Structure 1
Amino acid sequence: MKKLLFLLLLGLPFSRLAAQDYFPNNESVRNENNNFTAFTNAKIYVTPTQVIEQGTLLIREGKVINVGKSVALPKNCVVYNMEGKTIYPSFIDMYTNFGVANPAAYSGSREPLYDTKRKGFYWNEHIRSEVNASGFYKYDSAKAEEFLKAGFGVVNTHMADGVARGTGLIVPLSDESKTNKILFDKVTQHFAFTRSVTTNQAYPSSLMGMIALLKQMYHDKNWYKNGNSTYKDSSLEALIENEKLVQIFAAEDKLNALRVAKIGKEFGINYILKGSGNEFERIDDIKKTNAKFIVPVNFPDAYDVSDPYQANQMELADMRFWNQAPTNLKVLTENGVVFAITTDKLKKLEDFKSKLLKAIKYGFDKTKALEALTTVPASLLGKPAELGNLKNGAYANFIVTSGDFFDEKTILYENWVLGNKYVVNDMNSKDVRGNYELTFDNKTYQLKIEGELSSPKAEVKTSEDKKVNAKLSMANNWFNLLLKSDDSTKVEFHRLMALVTDTNQFSGKATMANGTESYWSAKKTSVTEKKAEETAKLEINKVFPVTFPNLPFGNLQKPKQETLLFKNVTVWTNEKEGILKETDVLIKNGKIAAIGTNLSDPSAKVIDGKGKHLTNGIIDEHSHIAISRGVNESGHNATAEVTIEDVVNSDDINIYRNLAGGVTTSQLLHGSANPIGGRSAIVKWKWGLSPDEMIYKNSPQFIKFALGENVKQANWGINNPTRFPQTRMGVEQVFMDYFNRAKEYDEAWKAFNAQGKKGKVKAPRVDLELQTLAEIINKKRFITCHSYVQSEILMLMRVAEKFGFRVNTYTHILEGYKVANEMKEHGVGASTFSDWWAYKYEVNDAIPYNGALLHNQGVTVAYNSDDAEMSRRLNQEAAKAVKYGNVSEEEAWKFVTLNPAKLLHIDDKVGSIKVGKDADLVLWNDNPLSVYAKAEKTMIEGVVYFDIETDEIQRANLAKEKSELIMQQLQEKNKGMITQEPKKKEKIEYHCDTLEH
């Protein structure tokens, strides 16, 4: 009997037994759908490149069981006939903050905080790597509906706060179970160049500070990981624990993308870069990073330029970006850059499809678009089997559409997430959108229906093109249109109703405003395919070419090195030969190849220099142009770890203006907000090239120090300043303290390098700040010091001598004439102003003869700009040395050429016209010290980066381009497209004391 019972049990369907629970669980009676669901006769995109016509998709318990042309259906199967429908994998947005609200903003004292108050965490509160977004996640039904309507099934979300932001998680956009369901926790680790809102900690206050902080964080992580720390740091432990997760960095700009890629290369991290949509402007450099990207589609709306006064305030660069931005995805694809698409930064999620279709109209491939929304983000997130496809075993996340998703008229009906259905549009709803001829009450009207399928909007006009007040509603395919009666004295409506079975033509009963009844009809007016194609073409604006940089006066092609022969020119050699008349200069391979008379070279382009002057390029020892997001890292009193080299902005129009003024080389200095500032960048103004290509190769290393009012916060406007120092004597103490610490640090590393490999000494912690200061002690880095008052000038020289080095340059140095002998004895140079004085209290004793007096005492003197406007007129500043002090013209010219080259220790390469030196030259139409002198050609290493004739042509072309762009935007407005108000961007011109907000 027992054997018979056993055999009977074996005969029962196994799946039924396996699925049956005899006892309900302790929490509630189960209500799970364990049935199969099949979708038949559909066009199925298993992947973007694997498509099945008339296929079947079989799902169960939230996963794909089978997909194919012929799939056997189980008995317990719910079948949906999808004849004429298309099924795609649901989309994935891998960069959101869905359901994770930003933390509460800091609300404590407004005084800046310099030390952390947190215990057991990293010393900087903008590092929040310990944050796990899952601990803050709460399903957002309203936002989820927006995503679902746009076609998304899952999103990766994180807390968008801080520099190191912690981990992200993948969540489904289905609240079927009304729980905060998490699909995958701790998938990603996030970073950005933004401060946390949770703290008032002052550091970092600039982009270069954030970059330095990240570098220091990674050094600390490695040091901590090797067991060198005696204290617990939860932030570093989280970094170590999560270092193998997907690393996502919100670069948010093309140049930031290059900066992040460099950090990744230095520390062996393959970041996925969240872009901004301007990658096309530097596509060659973007491609070289080999990074993968997450790219938004938030192309800007056209500007309303109907007011000519407002249009005149618009930057051409902004208009050009509006014109070019829709090509970004196409350009990335053509250059082999792997990327996913995100909805981030869209004003409204409902705009997602229209923005994406715009990119497709501008050449973005549809298959690549689908990949960027499905398989690519799934792969980047490390979930290629589970997400982004409809293969066996994948999650049952898919959308059902009326056809090609990338067709404007295609309707998204349903979005299934983990096997749960979300209805976007009723599949049985008739799509009445279109243009109709409406006949009613013996009159003919034009009826236009547009908007969402679920909530269409009607526009009705008479045969005389007069608009009629109308309101349309649709429910269960019942068409209900209210039309205002012709009687203008009353607010009465006619009611037109019909059950729509055929969207090409339908009719019904009309109830008039007076209560009588009649009939009406609507017949769709057709548009031929040819006309539709022509209309689509008209919607694509002419796209203007990208220039290098993509700004006014950028070059269509990057300029190339040339062989040039200047004939019969007056040459200012800055060498013992002095000024040579009627002389030839040959430029070859970027160098000065020959100087003499009757020179020839058959390969050279000959330039007639008769009556003109050839000089070497002007060198600005102290400049603050072309720096991104902050010239000062003011968060600490010493910030030697930061460097301007990290934040060179190659897209600053001041570069071109400097070239037009004959400037070829500049030292970009940190500001004067702290006694020990940041490291500088020596750059050559190679207009159109990348930041790294501008940085002087193997240049001597400099750092900015500062004295006086700025560093003691005398003019900061803080009610109760808290940062040390507050006095000039405190400034001296800062130098003493930091150099003593740097000396100890240097000795510790030397001891480790001598014995550490034998295992006797633990590795010291890498400290980028002290490492830099140790370079000064070891004479590997030079100081340029902001200075005014003689007492402090003498003080810093004494500090330097105490630690065995010399101050290289005093900049400003407006009381230098008082201590010229001491400066000469110390060996320090002077980079000063020609005639700026009395602009603040500590400048009261400045005199315009300062430069000449220092020069006469044997101090190497340069004139610098410290100002974007002055930097393009430094030739005239040099002339003032002739006026104030009777300096000879030759020596005065050296104030802005050879002398700054000497101060920067690059006079072996630039600063004079000598065979073998770099061909950094300027051709002037007059004596360069004349107020009438114009730079006609400015070249760097034999490449002409400014040409006055080309400049004139460009001005005419730019005026034409702006006019065409204005017309394009006017047409957009006339078509009824969304426009935005013109905005004039206020550009910040950095000076020594400029602070970031």
Structure 2
Amino acid sequence: MRANALLTLGSALALSACASTAGGSDTASTGTANPAAENPFPSTYEPYPGTPTALVGATVYDGAGGVIEGGVVLFRDGKVVAVAQELSTEGYTVVDGTGKYVTPGIIDIHSHLGDYPTPSVDAHSDGNEATNPTTPDVWAEHSVWPQDPGFSRALANGGITSLQILPGSANLIGGRSVTLKNVYSRTVQGMKFPGAPYGMKMACGENPKRVYGNRGRKPSTRMGNIAVARQTWLDAKEWADGDRKKRNLENETLAGVLDGDILVHNHCYRADEMAIVMDMAKEMGYRVSAFHHAVEAYKIGDLLRENEVCSAIWADWYGFKMESYDGIPENGALLQNAGACVVIHSDDENGIQRLNQEAAKAQAAGARMGIAIPDAEVISWITLNAAKAMGIDGMTGSLETGKMADVVLWNGDPLSVYSRPDKVWVDGALMYDAADPKRKPVSDFELGQPGEGDVK
């Protein structure tokens, strides 16, 4: 059925011949004792087929801070077999990477593709359930439109192989996020990253107080933000400490966080608020995996390091509202210098196509102030560090034996504005090839429209 469905899409969708193992374990448990609540929307992802492949002669950035000049990357059956200076390529299809570069697949920790798809019209605006300050019961995946053309743009132009789709930030607690493999599928379940834990989106600062304060509701201040969030956690703890037999979608998600099964991704700009949120997390018994946007993270790099919280940031966005006023382009470099975890994210359907360039901008800002960060380390900002904060680093994010063969071959230095993906593999499957028009994926939405098959 899968093969027949793809054939009906025509050559424009010819998404390749490539390799891999079957889907692995399903998404993480919510921690509830009710079996029906454990995994009601399981991943049905199955890797596309592929061939054993050897990339030879390229400069290899492994995503974990290592670099090999003129290295060899072997993968087959969807997994990385070996990465070294010299390896036998017998039994592998050899791809000459001389003069080119290899990295792990790029990972965007903060995306709204599918929930705010293109065309950007009100009918497609499905990211904010702005009906209550706390909506932990909603799941971002139930708004994801798999036909969003943004997915194929991210693959072809940005080398994005995995991405986390988050609810918006109108709410203090916006709901569950979902991690996807960036492949064509008719359903969101067919894109769900097998074995990835759920995330939960939280927010602080201007957005919740503006949205609900303008309606004459609580919260309307920052102190109201914290008060509402704390009470929500206290109510959830009371439910979680009970027998959990009565289904409650809000508390099932919150209990999943308290049980450590669901990771918290917190939209927050100001340093003082991030410090307060970390204290609230300690009070309530959960931890923040990453602060997103975090334009003032550079002010508390030591606190973020000590609390093992990543900062998912832009390279240079600042000043578009008061809480972003103190954003500086040296943010990432200062965090790196403090020993804290740095992730470059997009939060944008266009920015996701150039995370490599955004990382390079942040690196250059550091160099201008005297902080030299090696290229191989910068690559980890858009690969392994993102995977760590999303709880999938044991499966992807670096080119290590046994991990998913999520691989990008770049036509030049990936930290150059002039470079772009030459080929992209997802679980060892060649999903994009710049030299082959039939391997430029196009969504159903674009089929039959002027310019079909073009990836721009």
Could you tell me which amino acid in structure 2 is paired with residue 547 of structure 1? Answer: L
* Match in the other structure for 2:113: 625
8 Å contact from structure 2 (residues 432, 440) kept in 1: no
Look up the SS of the partner of 2:272 in the other structure.
helix
Residue among 384, 390, 397 paired with 1:898: 384
* Match in the other structure for 1:470: none
Residues of 2 paired with 1:572 and 1:856: CA distance? 21
Residues of 2 paired with 1:817 and 1:792: CA distance? 13
* Match in the other structure for 1:843: 324
Residue among 206, 227, 234 paired with 1:740: 234
* Match in the other structure for 1:676: 173
8 Å contact from structure 1 (residues 555, 688) kept in 2: no
Residues of 2 paired with 1:557 and 1:826: CA distance? 43
Cα deviations by residue, 1:480-532 (Å, 9 ceiling, x for unpaired): xxxxxxxxxxxxxxxxxxxxxxxxxxxxxxxxxxxxxxxxxxxxxxxxxxxxx
* Match in the other structure for 1:949: 435
Residues of 1 paired with 2:16 and 2:417: CA distance? 33
8 Å contact from structure 1 (residues 554, 688) kept in 2: no
Residue 963 to residue 777, structure 1, CA distance change in 2 (3 Å): closer
1:582 pairs with 2:70:
yes
Residues of 1 paired with 2:203 and 2:106: CA distance? 25
* Match in the other structure for 2:51: 562
Report how far residue 961 of structure 1 moved: 7.0
Report how far residue 650 of structure 1 moved: 1.6
* Match in the other structure for 2:80: 592
Residues 85-164 of structure 1 aligned to structure 2 (within 5 Å): none
8 Å contact from structure 1 (residues 618, 664) kept in 2: yes
1:930 pairs with 2:416:
yes
Cα deviations by residue, 1:959-982 (Å, 9 ceiling, x for unpaired): 9976899xxxxxxxxxxxxxxxxx
Residue among 214, 217, 220 paired with 1:723: 217
Residue 567 to residue 954, structure 1, CA distance change in 2 (3 Å): closer
Report how far residue 553 of structure 1 moved: 4.3
1:642 pairs with 2:131:
no
Unaligned 5+ segments in structure 2 are 18-47, 116-123, 368-372
* Match in the other structure for 1:907: 393
Report how far residue 770 of structure 1 moved: 1.2
Residue among 781, 796, 800 paired with 2:281: 800
1:776 pairs with 2:257:
yes
* Match in the other structure for 1:791: 272
What TM-score does the superposition give when structure 2 sets the normalisation length?
Answer: 0.82
Question: How many matched pairs?
Answer: 405
Residue 839 to residue 553, structure 1, CA distance change in 2 (3 Å): farther
Look up the SS of the partner of 1:586 in the other structure.
strand
* Match in the other structure for 1:546: 8
* Match in the other structure for 1:709: 206
Residues of 2 paired with 1:895 and 1:768: CA distance? 34
Residues of 1 paired with 2:186 and 2:395: CA distance? 21
Could you tell me which amino acid in structure 2 is paired with residue 622 of structure 1? Answer: H
Report how far residue 546 of structure 1 moved: 3.0
1:572 pairs with 2:53:
no
Cα deviations by residue, 1:6-41 (Å, 9 ceiling, x for unpaired): xxxxxxxxxxxxxxxxxxxxxxxxxxxxxxxxxxxx
* Match in the other structure for 1:694: 191
8 Å contact from structure 1 (residues 806, 827) kept in 2: no
8 Å contact from structure 1 (residues 642, 679) kept in 2: yes
Residues of 1 paired with 2:60 and 2:15: CA distance? 32
8 Å contact from structure 1 (residues 672, 711) kept in 2: yes
1:613 pairs with 2:110:
no
Residue 567 to residue 689, structure 1, CA distance change in 2 (3 Å): farther
Could you tell me which amino acid in structure 1 is paired with residue 381 of structure 2? Answer: F
Look up the SS of the partner of 1:693 in the other structure.
coil
8 Å contact from structure 1 (residues 664, 684) kept in 2: yes
Residues of 2 paired with 1:562 and 1:788: CA distance? 45
Look up the SS of the partner of 2:205 in the other structure.
coil
8 Å contact from structure 1 (residues 687, 945) kept in 2: no
Residues of 2 paired with 1:769 and 1:960: CA distance? 39
8 Å contact from structure 2 (residues 13, 439) kept in 1: no
Cα deviations by residue, 1:926-983 (Å, 9 ceiling, x for unpaired): 010011111010111000111101238869xx99976899xxxxxxxxxxxxxxxxxx
Report how far residue 598 of structure 1 moved: 4.8
Look up the SS of the partner of 1:581 in the other structure.
strand
Residue 633 to residue 553, structure 1, CA distance change in 2 (3 Å): farther
* Match in the other structure for 1:659: 155
Report how far residue 688 of structure 1 moved: 4.3
Report how far residue 602 of structure 1 moved: 4.5
Look up the SS of the partner of 2:278 in the other structure.
helix
8 Å contact from structure 2 (residues 185, 191) kept in 1: no
Residues of 1 paired with 2:190 and 2:343: CA distance? 26
Could you tell me which amino acid in structure 1 is paired with residue 54 of structure 2? Answer: L
Report how far residue 580 of structure 1 moved: 0.6
Residues of 1 paired with 2:109 and 2:448: CA distance? 37
Report how far residue 561 of structure 1 moved: 1.9
Residues 798-837 of structure 1 aligned to structure 2 (within 5 Å): 798-837=279-318
8 Å contact from structure 1 (residues 709, 842) kept in 2: yes
Report how far residue 693 of structure 1 moved: 2.0
Residues of 2 paired with 1:902 and 1:712: CA distance? 31
* Match in the other structure for 1:918: 404
1:856 pairs with 2:353:
no
Could you tell me which amino acid in structure 2 is paired with residue 609 of structure 1? Answer: G
Look up the SS of the partner of 2:210 in the other structure.
coil
Residue 888 to residue 597, structure 1, CA distance change in 2 (3 Å): closer
Higher relative contact order (CA 8 A, sep 6+): 2
Residues of 2 paired with 1:736 and 1:953: CA distance? 50
- The Cα RMSD (Å) is 2.8
Report how far residue 809 of structure 1 moved: 0.7
Report how far residue 813 of structure 1 moved: 0.6
Residue 835 to residue 608, structure 1, CA distance change in 2 (3 Å): same
Q: Which has the larger radius of gyration?
A: 1
Residues of 2 paired with 1:804 and 1:952: CA distance? 51
Unaligned 5+ segments in structure 1 are 1-283, 288-330, 336-544, 751-762, 966-997
Residues of 2 paired with 1:904 and 1:567: CA distance? 30
Residues 254-293 of structure 1 aligned to structure 2 (within 5 Å): 284=1
Residues of 2 paired with 1:952 and 1:557: CA distance? 8
Cα deviations by residue, 1:632-689 (Å, 9 ceiling, x for unpaired): 1111111111111223322111111111111111111111011011100111101346
Cα deviations by residue, 1:110-130 (Å, 9 ceiling, x for unpaired): xxxxxxxxxxxxxxxxxxxxx
* Match in the other structure for 1:869: 350
Look up the SS of the partner of 2:274 in the other structure.
helix
Could you tell me which amino acid in structure 2 is paired with residue 925 of structure 1? Answer: N
Cα deviations by residue, 1:90-128 (Å, 9 ceiling, x for unpaired): xxxxxxxxxxxxxxxxxxxxxxxxxxxxxxxxxxxxxxx
Residues of 2 paired with 1:892 and 1:964: CA distance? 36
8 Å contact from structure 1 (residues 920, 940) kept in 2: yes
* Match in the other structure for 1:68: none
8 Å contact from structure 2 (residues 72, 83) kept in 1: yes
8 Å contact from structure 2 (residues 290, 389) kept in 1: yes
Could you tell me which amino acid in structure 1 is paired with residue 220 of structure 2? Answer: Q
Residue 748 to residue 880, structure 1, CA distance change in 2 (3 Å): same
Residue 920 to residue 805, structure 1, CA distance change in 2 (3 Å): same
Could you tell me which amino acid in structure 2 is paired with residue 648 of structure 1? Answer: V
Residue 923 to residue 963, structure 1, CA distance change in 2 (3 Å): closer
8 Å contact from structure 2 (residues 15, 430) kept in 1: no
Report how far residue 601 of structure 1 moved: 4.4
Residue 572 to residue 635, structure 1, CA distance change in 2 (3 Å): same
Look up the SS of the partner of 1:739 in the other structure.
helix
Cα deviations by residue, 1:326-375 (Å, 9 ceiling, x for unpaired): xxxxx9xxx9xxxxxxxxxxxxxxxxxxxxxxxxxxxxxxxxxxxxxxxx
Look up the SS of the partner of 1:770 in the other structure.
helix
Structure with greater strand share of residues: 1
Residue 963 to residue 785, structure 1, CA distance change in 2 (3 Å): closer
Residues of 1 paired with 2:451 and 2:307: CA distance? 61
Could you tell me which amino acid in structure 2 is paired with residue 632 of structure 1? Answer: N
